[in-house]
Chain A
Amino acid sequence: MTISRAEAAQALSDIDTTTGRSRTFGAYRVTGPILMLWGVIWALGYTGMGLWPVERWGVVWGVLDVVGVALTILLARRRSGTAAATAASSVAAWRGLATALVIMLFLGASFAIFQPTDQNAYMTFPVVLAGFIYAGIGIQRMPRLIWIGAAMAGIALIGFYAFQPILPFWLAVVGGGGLLAGGLWLRSA
């Protein structure tokens, strides 16, 4: 039996499509628990911002970020199978950490330039930024992240314009809960 060039091209295209779907589902499986972890961290962090004065916010987020990054690296390694996959996941985790540091530097630079005096703007901007970053990653690699990112940014903006008196708790419950739900959605893929 022989096949035509068109049939062979179609078969190769099917292989590419299946391989891409497989990688996307694999990425969802790794990303889901990490997103859930950050949902909890965000909930704790914004609850802290609601309960404590602004002078303590840096300490709260400093501790939570260190714990979050350490657990993220552990989760990324745990989800791998073989030694080669674990090594690849470690590299990906460190790249993710470097990317997170770049984003934090961007946030710091933005605050230094614009010097927001409104604490609500200070609280909301990182969530909106994270939402758009998730949506961008979603467009590139993981379509479900488009919806999660859009929901995050939308929830933060609704809170900023409609629920300012309870904004930190809004971001803790709705934003953190949204990330948790998004993580569950990814994990179920």
Chain B
Amino acid sequence: MAELNEMIHQPLRLKIMAALWAERSGGAVEFARLKKVSGATDGNLGSHLTVLEKAGYVEIEKDFVGKRPRTRIAVTPAGGKAYRGHVEYLRQVVEGLDR
């Protein structure tokens, strides 16, 4: 029986993890793109990414492309496992298997 992951269940963090999981085969995702996909503001996205990073669910890389700063985010193996577990829990709740 899968369990609810309260860290991931927060709506924006769930969107962040869903986007990163969908993009995992293409490597890390740029901050600007994650912002568009999730519909979050800069500050909101940054603070939730920090929470997910502290939990070990995402890795954040900062570098420069020419003179332009770039932030890229990728889901970690632990993050992927936690996300899949949470999605499984949601499915079980919808199908009434959690009781």
**Residues of A that sit less than 8 Å from B by CB:** 1-5, 7-9, 11-12, 14-15, 18-19, 21-23, 25-26, 80-82, 84-85, 88, 189
Alpha-carbon distance between A121 and B36 when the two chains are bound, in angstroms: 42
**Which residues from chain A contact B38 at a C-beta distance below 8 Å?**
18
Partner of B37, one of A7, A18, A80, A85: A18
Q: Is the CB of B26 within 8 A of A23?
A: no
Return the chain A residue nearest B29 by Cβ: A22
- Convert B5-32 into 0s and 1s, putting 1 for each residue whose CB lies closer than 8 angstroms to a CB of A: 0100101001100110111011100000
Counting contact residues on chain B (CB < 8 A from A), the size range is 20 to 34
CB of B93 within 8 A of chain A?
yes
Alpha-carbon distance between A82 and B26 when the two chains are bound, in angstroms: 6
Q: Is the CB of B23 within 8 A of A22?
A: yes
Q: A8-B91, A84-B25 are in contact. List 18 more A-B contacts (CB 8 A).
A: A2-B98, A5-B96, A8-B89, A8-B90, A12-B87, A14-B15, A18-B19, A19-B21, A19-B22, A21-B36, A22-B18, A22-B19, A22-B23, A25-B37, A26-B22, A80-B25, A81-B27, A88-B25
**Which residues from chain B contact A21 at a C-beta distance below 8 Å?**
19, 36-37
Alpha-carbon distance between A14 and B38 when the two chains are bound, in angstroms: 10
Return the chain B residue nearest A11 by Cβ: B90
Contacts A8-B94, A18-B22, A25-B37 known; A2 to B15 CB distance under 8 Å?
no
Contacts A18-B19, A22-B22 known; A12 to B4 CB distance under 8 Å?
no
Alpha-carbon distance between A23 and B23 when the two chains are bound, in angstroms: 8
Q: Is the CB of B9 within 8 A of A3?
A: yes
Q: Is the CB of A11 within 8 A of B9?
A: yes
A contacts with B: majority SS: helix
Return the chain B residue nearest A81 by Cβ: B27
Alpha-carbon distance between A21 and B23 when the two chains are bound, in angstroms: 11
Contacts A25-B37, A82-B25, A82-B27 known; A1 to B4 CB distance under 8 Å?
yes
Return the chain B residue nearest A86 by Cβ: B25
Question: Which of A19, A23, A82 has most chain B Cβ within 10 Å?
Answer: A19
**Which residues from chain B contact A18 at a C-beta distance below 8 Å?**
14-15, 18-19, 22, 37-38
**Which residues from chain B contact A9 at a C-beta distance below 8 Å?**
94
Q: Is the CB of B27 within 8 A of A12?
A: no
